[in-house]
């Protein structure tokens, strides 16, 4: 493939039924929602069961996985030699009700990972909240495996969870091993390792209306992968990079991904030469300029910039807020 044949790639969201979901994606995403409570929209997925498919340009119909497999260097740059698939999964989450209390294993806890799976470190950016909304993240001081197990049994585990009242724009970093849950009324953007391994510790007595049954819990596995040395988690403090002509803040930089927020009304640069990047427009709209081609970007759009595309300009129409996701060393 000639480098010139790659360009900014757009994908339709992949909607996921969740008993705790709602209908707020109707106001965020252009693709119509199916019936039922929709809790997740997977907007960039290199998963065998739910692959993201290009929806624009000559590569329409190709999967992200297929393009990476065929053209790793052009898609991922220097990282292409070592990565067999895109290492991140990007989602929007709409929590109409509380999510289960859950925890994820780390990459190193291989005895708890199916073959080929990663652990899961993740981060949330809060997009919407309601009065009384809560995010549960981390554990209160003194919590032990024994007290958590008892809390699951008698329904008092919520008393051992650290929590805070989120506001729009808050960022929560959830390393693997951190017990967490989204409370009712919160909608977030999530970036995470490309993993679907979740151990559910407690489900608030919820019943799945499709099955009429409670969802499976994984208490012993969850306790085994929980990092009890970590206490409560508070919203991350953004690190200011620049204030003019637009506000650029580093929200999270970890060994799995980087997350930057850009806010403003003036033209700004995105992407980087030889590096893959992902843009997520969470408010406003604008025009992405790549070479001589312009691409309209609206609220809810997610754009993959292949490594060979390099740096681009983003021209806002009014005020816009864009998240830029990078890979380690990218």
Spatial distance between the Cα atoms of 99 and 135, rounded to a whole number of angstroms: 10
Q: Among the options 24, 200, 248, 261, which is catalytic?
A: 200
Surface-to-core class of residue 114, CB atoms within 10 Å of its CB (0-12 exposed, 13-18 middle, 19+ buried): exposed
Structure tokens at 260: 């930057």
Annotated catalytic, 200?
Answer: yes
DSSP letter for each residue of 99-115 = PPEEE---TT-GGGS-T
Q: What are the angstrom distances between the C-alpha of 59 and each of 14, 201, 207, 279?
A: 18, 42, 42, 19
Cβ contact 76:34 at 8 Å: no
Spatial distance between the Cα atoms of 113 and 119, rounded to a whole number of angstroms: 7
* Angle 141-143-145 from CA coordinates, rounded to 5°: 155
Spatial distance between the Cα atoms of 224 and 201, rounded to a whole number of angstroms: 11
Q: Known catalytic residues?
A: 200
């Amino acid at each position: 493939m000639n480098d010139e044949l790659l360009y900014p790639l757009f994908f339709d969201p992949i909607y996921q039924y969740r008993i705790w979901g709602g209908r707020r994606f109707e106001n965020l995403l252009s693709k119509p929602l199916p019936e039922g409570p929709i809790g997740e929209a997977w907007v960039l997925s290199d998963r065998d069961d739910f692959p993201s498919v290009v929806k624009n340009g000559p590569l329409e119909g190709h999967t992200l996985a297929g393009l990476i497999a065929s053209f790793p260097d052009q898609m991922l740059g220097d990282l292409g030699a070592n990565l067999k698939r895109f290492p991140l999964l990007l989602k929007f989450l709409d929590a109409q009700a509380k999510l289960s209390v859950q925890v994820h294993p780390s990459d190193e806890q291989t005895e708890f990972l199916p073959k080929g799976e990663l652990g899961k470190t993740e981060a949330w950016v809060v997009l919407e909240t309601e009065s009384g909304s809560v995010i549960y993240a981390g554990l209160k001081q003194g919590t032990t495996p024994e007290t958590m197990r008892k809390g699951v049994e008698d329904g008092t585990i919520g008393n051992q969870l650290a929590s805070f009242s989120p506001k729009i724009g808050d960022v929560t970093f959830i390393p693997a091993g951190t017990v967490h849950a989204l409370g009712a009324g919160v909608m977030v953007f999530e970036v995470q390792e490309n993993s679907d391994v979740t151990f559910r510790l407690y489900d608030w007595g919820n019943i799945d209306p499709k099955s009429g049954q409670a969802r499976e819990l994984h208490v012993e596995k969850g306790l085994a992968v929980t990092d009890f040395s970590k206490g409560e988690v508070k919203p991350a403090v953004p690190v200011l990079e620049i204030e003019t002509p637009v506000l650029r803040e580093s929200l999270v930089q970890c060994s799995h991904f980087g997350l930057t927020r850009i806010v403003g009304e003036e033209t700004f640069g995105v992407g980087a030469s030889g590096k893959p990047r992902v843009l997520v427009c969470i408010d406003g709209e604008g025009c992405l300029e790549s070479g001589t081609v312009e691409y309209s970007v609206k609220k809810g759009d997610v754009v993959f910039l292949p490594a060979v595309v390099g740096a681009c300009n983003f021209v806002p129409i009014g005020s816009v807020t864009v998240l830029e996701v990078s890979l380690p060393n990218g």
